[in-house]
Amino acid sequence: MSANKSFDIAQKIISGKIDIEMPLWAIMIIGVVAGLYIAATAIGIETYDKCKNLTEESKKQDNLRQYLTYTLTIAVTIPFTLLFMKLFSKDASAFMFLYSVMGVVGGAIAYNATTKCDGVDESKKNYLIAALTAFSATLLMSGFMIYPRAKKKLVY
């Protein structure tokens, strides 16, 4: 595809002449397929964890388990993201809120681990404190931006 054709397509998407929004029925089908994949992957991971022959066998088996774990995360993320985009349209504040919540929870878990583990570098703890502070501030800001009356006050 040439650069000019790509540029023309991008301009049409931005101007709204091309609709790239996915219909809700397609998102639901993707969700069902993802649900089936999640169930199959969960069975595989559980089997791997309980079977001593597989866990002690080789690095190959460990890599296969990691593949299942990573693709399980992807299978959960894609339908959720599509549905989230459908519900909140082009609202960046909703995505900021989502990442802020994940950041606060993930940062708190990571900080808790660094406080309970001996020999963790102090700079890592300091980074996590700064990250938690930033995520908390972004959470408050995005929560304010999501609030309907706040949207009217803000100029985009």
* Tens digits of residue pLDDT in 97-117: 888 888 898 889 888 888 887
Which amino acid, 14?
A: I
Q: What b/e readout covers 15-49, taking b as 16+ CB neighbours within 10 angstroms? A: eeeeeeeeeeeebeebeeebeeeeeebeebeeebe
CA–CA separation, 136 and 101 (whole Å): 8
pLDDT higher than 70, residue 66: yes
Q: What pLDDT, on a 0 to 100 scale, did the predictor assign at position 1?
A: 54
Give residues with Cβ within 8 angstroms of 124, minimum separation 6. 114
DSSP one-letter code for 147: S
What global pTM score does this model have?
0.56
Of 30-44, 54-68, 135-149, the poorest mean pLDDT is in 54-68
- pLDDT given at position 64: 81
The span from the CA of 10 to the CA of 18, in Å, is 9
Tokens of 8: 């023309």
Spatial CA neighbour of 94 closest among 144, 142, 138: 142
Above 70 in pLDDT, residue 13?
no
| CB-CB contact of 57 with 50 (8 Å) | no
pLDDT(12) > 70 = no
